[in-house]
Structure 1
Amino acid sequence: MLLLWLVLLTILTFKLWLKRKYAYFRNRGIPYLPASSWSPMGNLSQLLFLRISFGDLFRKLYADARCGQAKVVGFFVFQTPALIVRDPEIIRQVLIKNFNSFLNRYESADVGDPMGALTLPLAKYHHWKESRQCMSQLFTSGRMREVLYPQMLDVAIDLENYLNKKLRNRPDRVLPLGRMCQLYTTDVTGNLFYSLDVGGLRRGRSQLLQKTKELFKTNPRKVLDFMIVFFLPKWTSLLTPKVFSKDYAQYMKDLVKEHQEPQKVDLINQLQHFQISCSSNHYSKHPDFIASQAGIVLLAGFETSSALMGFTLYELAKAPDIQMRLRKELCEAFGSSSTLSYETLMALPYLKMVCSEALRLYPAAAFVNRECTSPEPEGFSLQPHVDFVVPPGMPAYISILGLQRDEKYWPDPYRFDPERFAPERIKDIIPMTYIPFGAGPHGCIGNRLGLLQLKLGIAHILKLYWVEVCERTVSQIRFNPKSFMLESQDEIYLRFCRDNL
């Protein structure tokens, strides 16, 4: 009987402690989304039980009707108070104008896991800055035009041949998009960053793709590791999560070790030069530094780029009038040539509009966050917008998916309408309501390359094929709750019909 009373007293004490924790925003007069005082998970329970995707969770928090027109809304990451920032001007302050007060992403890896802790997205500012400057040299417009684009054209031709093999002599065939898009993006990544002739589209299989997909396979330990990294960063030294699986980490280490000095500068080569030139006590001297950056570049581009290409084809198949107009533009651009020059591809206005609208509905970054690192002891004041001071260490989240599907900024937000990005209408887009790759110094380093890859893939597919929905096409996209990025839970099937421009 005494034991029972002790258990009940413990439960009651824990409930009262949680209730006090969850009163944080109420006590400060800030609109917030309440969390159950019976649960230590805060507002994350659906995510932790894999019932909702990361993107959908933060979109749901952003769009919660209880928030009204509030510019910031409080919620709880376990018991840690956090903010959802909903106002474009405050978003600009957090990501750009007052970057010095929000230097880091909130998530963090264990220092005992150097393959994870050294990666560009997880490195803290004093380590991140130099690595970012080094890697950004790989993504200059001149280098994309003169070095990267010619290599990408080879993969685009492989993409055409892949589809031709799939259809053989048939006039049309229903195909799943997933594997084709994944082979395309891993071929591009391997060629550009590791100087590998991956050849996944030619062979129908790819070791690079296989290793990447193995890393994304869900198991309880992997889910736990990701949740710790993203939502319990202060506990990483105790709970020792791993960002990369042991096999994937070893694969990337071997890739770096066996890398040959190429004629062209690739990612590994660039990082090797950076490692040699930096000071002896610099963190980039760590033997796993190059492998960690090589590993994260593949993961960052693989899922977002392949999924985005599939989503774009899906929307075009559902909108034949839009697809017809785009194919007409491509027909005029290709003429009698089998490829397009870099300048021609980048200048196609309707292709740019289509890709911009696809990125609005399916942003490369569904959400971003920043940790308050204000030099002021009390934190960063949101005055005059909101009467609240963000204390040091508090995370601020921005739901890009929610922002770009908000009917306040985008009428009929779920309709695929490239006209939103017509030249004469772009000036009407409110700044910071369209940030598909994030914004500011921490914005996606490969955003221009990602967009170029999408344009090139779509152009070479539609050059040869008309795509349309079929009986196996899903009626609407559901995001995979087991994926960190925006990925369709269901395979997307479309009918590919031979129809050369």
Structure 2
Amino acid sequence: MQPTPIIGNTGPVFTQSNSFGLHISAVYSDPRMANEAAVGIYVINKPGLVIREPELIKSVLIKDFNRFTNRYGRTDPHYDALGSNNLFFVRNPQWKEIRTKLTPVFTSGKMKQMYPLMQEIAADLESMLAKERPANEGKYVTDIKDVCARFTTDSIATIAYGVRANSLSNPEAEFRRQGRMIFAPTLARSKDFFVAFFLPKLVSLMRIKVFPDEFSKFLRDTIGHVMAERERTATVRNDLIDVLVGLRKEAALEPGKPHLANDNDFLVAQAGVFFTAGFETSSSAMSFALLELARQPELQKRLRKEIHEALLEEKDGKLSYDKIHSLEYLSMVVDEVLRMYPVLPFLDREYQSIKGEADLSLKPYYDHKLENGTPIFIPIYALQRDPKYWTNPNLFNPDRFSAENRKSIEPMAYQPFGLGPHNCIGSRIGVLQTKLGLVHFLKNHFVRSCPETVKEIEFDPKTFILQLKTGMFLEIVNDRLYDANAL
């Protein structure tokens, strides 16, 4: 595409009329590019590629992954140790080492062990909703995203750190206040993320931070205290802190060897990205699901019916780990929400040449070889709304993900958590947390549109994740569906 002098093809992002992820999706969806496998752009003064063709996407994420192991974006390793050392930004080979060490936290067995802790927070969500507006008492209109973020903040704090954050009982609790700070749509945060993702060579000069000073101090103090207590009491919770404590012990047993865990900021960094990614992804999916269900009440009734029947089959108003995974329509709803509203609307990668081997060619699409350091962008949002792969893509329709319809989905056109070795390590926990939140929200409550509800979806251009420009207000109605029928 034709660039603008100095700022290249980042004009809408530079002027904050669009976020970069959605701007990349606009490049993908430009009618002039409909028959192209890839589109050349300039990220400021750096030539890059927006990939459109599924086979090329597969090459980047899976087939030729060894040439695309790093993100293009980065943060200052000296000024922002927590940002640069975490699994999201850290570069290979450290990325591979960290990924291998953290993988045990996310096995099915560990998730099953964490599930009762998540259920405790889900019960807190029920209590909070009932307390805010008991049955048959007036209107209860609120920003549903805030409610969901308080739930996921408390859930992540307990399953990752063994800490009771109490955001549901106190909206200004410290964990919630710090979480809001990370993704606040401010000019300063917009600048930080713009430089981190698109001017990575300037991160040190401009002292770019992913984690602000206050959040970094809060996290260092919190994780330091929790790890010290865990080591002192020898308590085992099968959570992220256990893994970090194990890494520190492993390093202590080999004092003569270099070990990442000798750096306390390395350990805190992993805890930081787990928290920020964990609460935001699930709260986004959960709140957008409720918004779409409010718009289509018949779908909400169908989902509540499935949840209600399952709860009546189980004991004490809870669903077992296996039972919640068996709810087909709930899975379809969550999958469709993640299609329409992927929290990270794009993926970025950096091409790396391999010494002694020819550079990767774009044949048979183009007679062009990639150059070392080329930024590659995959527009997740546009792929997941492309009418080539999805009928009526802007309509919320969970039936796309029925067992029969799944067979016809183009794999590269659905990747809300990425694909391949660099996919989101916590995706299964994120999905489980979203499902559990929806189950306990809809157990005795439903949502409906009200005068304050947004009529048209408009995303905030100042954030790199997918967020509404305004609040997500809905009316919450307590009809005691489960409680009235479980007596």
Report what 1:271 is aligned to: 244
Preserved contact between residue 114 and residue 238 of structure 2 (Cα < 8 Å) = no
> Could you tell which deviates more after superposition, 198-207 or 217-226?
217-226
Report what 2:92 is aligned to: 125
Q: Distance in 2 between matches of 1:350 and 1:175?
A: 26
Choose which of 24, 31, 36 in structure 1 pairs with 2:4: 36
Report what 1:349 is aligned to: 328
Q: What's the secondary structure of 2:349's corresponding residue?
A: strand
Preserved contact between residue 59 and residue 401 of structure 1 (Cα < 8 Å) = yes
When residues 405 and 219 of structure 1 are mapped into structure 2, their CA distance, relative to the original with a 3 A threshold, is closer
When residues 239 and 497 of structure 1 are mapped into structure 2, their CA distance, relative to the original with a 3 A threshold, is closer
Q: What's the secondary structure of 2:75's corresponding residue?
A: coil
Give the letter aligned to residue 198 of structure 1.
A
When residues 497 and 223 of structure 1 are mapped into structure 2, their CA distance, relative to the original with a 3 A threshold, is closer
Number of matched pairs: 466
Choose which of 307, 312, 336 in structure 1 pairs with 2:284: 307
User: How far does the alpha carbon of each residue in 1:129-188 deviate from its partner, in whole angstroms, 9 at most, with x for none?
Assistant: 11111111111011111x111001011111111111111351652222122111001001
Report what 1:159 is aligned to: 125
Q: What's the secondary structure of 1:325's corresponding residue?
A: helix
The Cα shift of 1:200 comes to: 1.5
Q: Distance in 2 between matches of 1:385 and 1:492?
A: 43
Preserved contact between residue 172 and residue 498 of structure 1 (Cα < 8 Å) = no
Q: Distance in 1 between matches of 2:206 and 2:172?
A: 36
What value does the CA root-mean-square deviation take over the aligned residues?
1.6
Q: Distance in 2 between matches of 1:195 and 1:172?
A: 36
Q: Which runs of 5+ in 2 are unaligned?
A: 483-487
Preserved contact between residue 71 and residue 86 of structure 1 (Cα < 8 Å) = yes
Report what 2:448 is aligned to: 468
Report what 2:44 is aligned to: 78
The Cα shift of 1:268 comes to: 2.4
When residues 61 and 284 of structure 1 are mapped into structure 2, their CA distance, relative to the original with a 3 A threshold, is farther
The Cα shift of 1:391 comes to: 1.0
Q: Distance in 2 between matches of 1:195 and 1:265?
A: 10
The Cα shift of 1:77 comes to: 0.5
Report what 1:364 is aligned to: 343
When residues 472 and 85 of structure 1 are mapped into structure 2, their CA distance, relative to the original with a 3 A threshold, is same
**2:354 counterpart of 1:375:** yes
User: How far does the alpha carbon of each residue in 1:419-466 deviate from its partner, in whole angstroms, 9 at most, with x for none?
Assistant: 111101111111211111001111111100111011111111111112
Q: What's the secondary structure of 1:335's corresponding residue?
A: helix
Q: Distance in 2 between matches of 1:480 and 1:221?
A: 14
Preserved contact between residue 372 and residue 380 of structure 1 (Cα < 8 Å) = no
Q: Distance in 2 between matches of 1:220 and 1:435?
A: 29
TM-score (norm 1): 0.90
> Could you tell which deviates more after superposition, 307-316 or 328-337?
328-337
The Cα shift of 1:378 comes to: 5.4
Choose which of 94, 101, 104 in structure 1 pairs with 2:67: 101
The Cα shift of 1:105 comes to: 0.8
User: How far does the alpha carbon of each residue in 1:286-332 deviate from its partner, in whole angstroms, 9 at most, with x for none?
Assistant: 22111111112211123222122110000011111111111111121
Tell me which structure has the larger Cα radius of gyration: 1
**2:195 counterpart of 1:228:** yes
When residues 365 and 226 of structure 1 are mapped into structure 2, their CA distance, relative to the original with a 3 A threshold, is closer
Pairing of 1:19-30 with structure 2 (within 5 A): none
Q: What's the secondary structure of 1:444's corresponding residue?
A: coil
**2:164 counterpart of 1:197:** yes
Q: What's the secondary structure of 2:169's corresponding residue?
A: helix
Choose which of 423, 430, 438 in structure 2 pairs with 1:458: 438
Preserved contact between residue 67 and residue 351 of structure 2 (Cα < 8 Å) = yes
Report what 1:138 is aligned to: 105
User: How far does the alpha carbon of each residue in 1:54-98 deviate from its partner, in whole angstroms, 9 at most, with x for none?
Assistant: 332121111111212101111110010110111111111100111
Choose which of 25, 30, 46 in structure 2 pairs with 1:59: 25
Q: Distance in 1 between matches of 2:187 and 2:420?
A: 34
**2:68 counterpart of 1:88:** no
Pairing of 1:147-186 with structure 2 (within 5 A): 147-169=113-135, 170=137, 172-186=139-153
The Cα shift of 1:99 comes to: 0.5
Query: What is the percent sequence identity of the aligned residues?
Result: 38
Preserved contact between residue 363 and residue 436 of structure 1 (Cα < 8 Å) = yes
Q: What's the secondary structure of 1:314's corresponding residue?
A: helix
Preserved contact between residue 268 and residue 290 of structure 1 (Cα < 8 Å) = no
Q: What's the secondary structure of 1:330's corresponding residue?
A: helix
